[in-house]
Amino acid sequence: MKVTVKYFGLVAEAAAKSEEVMELDETLTASELKVQCLIGLAIADKDSVQIAVNQNLDETITINDGDEVALLPPFAGG
């Protein structure tokens, strides 16, 4: 299955990209996909990164084909 992964803020900086299409050959939860995406990235506090699946921040969600996934560092609005 294919998912679109979007990177933001310090995660985009560490990954040196803002978006990619990933091919997954196993069923993953959002939490598991987050760990996989962050492997090898120079991010001091990986626990502070949230993952949104189709804009939903529930990390127990199972990823489905065609989902839009976003890796979100700590919010800094205002």
Phi, psi angles (nearest 5°) of residue 47: -65, -20
Quick one: DSSP state of residue 43? Answer: -
Q: Which tokens hold the place of 61?
A: 């969600």
For other proteins, the binding residue among 2, 8, 33, 37 (CB under 8 A) is: 8
Stretch that binds other proteins, among 23-31, 34-42, 58-66, 68-76 (CB under 8 A): 68-76
SS3 (DSSP) at 37: helix
Q: Give how many residues touch other proteins by CB under 8 A.
A: 15
9-28 in b/e burial notation, b at 16+ Cβ within 10 A?
ebbeebbeeeeeeeebeeeb
Tell whether residue 47 is a contact of other proteins (CB under 8 A).
Answer: no
For other proteins, the binding residue among 3, 15, 52, 61 (CB under 8 A) is: 52
Tell whether residue 77 is a contact of other proteins (CB under 8 A).
Answer: yes
Give the footprint of other proteins on this chain (CB under 8 A): 6, 8-10, 48, 52, 55, 70, 72-78
